[in-house]
Amino acid sequence: MFLKYLLLGLFLYFIFRFVFDFVIPVVRTTKQVKKQFDAVREQQQQFYQEKNQPTPSAKKSTVADQDDYLEFEEVK
């Protein structure tokens, strides 16, 4: 009878230790990592939205494109 209560107590102790030393920290860490990933994803989305928005001064003239070209002459 005493052995039965002793084993039950040890079982409950190990379950308690497992829950509070492993399960709860894993759940907390998982939530924290998920929040960090969500924050990074949100920053990336904001960056790409800002990057893809057309700017009013984005019009380039064809003259400027022609000025950027340098002719190449082959030297023999």
pLDDT tens readout for residues 39-73:
999 999 999 988 888 766 655 555 555 567 777 77
In a domain, 18, yes or no: yes
> Which pLDDT belongs to residue 32?
97
Query: How many structural domains comprise the chain?
Result: 1
Amino acid identity of residue 40, one-letter, is: V
In a domain, 17, yes or no: yes
> Which pLDDT belongs to residue 63?
54
Can you list the alpha helix ranges (DSSP code H) found in 2-59? 2-18, 24-52
In a domain, 3, yes or no: yes
Q: What pTM was computed for the model?
A: 0.54
Is residue 26 over pLDDT 60? yes
Token pair in block for residue 47: 């960056």
In a domain, 23, yes or no: yes
2-25, pLDDT tens digit by residue? 999 999 999 999 999 999 999 999
Token pair in block for residue 11: 């079982």
Measured over the CA atoms of residue 60, residue 61, residue 64 and residue 65, the dihedral's sign is positive
Amino acid identity of residue 3, one-letter, is: L
Range of the domain at 5: 1-46
In a domain, 58, yes or no: no
In a domain, 66, yes or no: no
In a domain, 54, yes or no: no
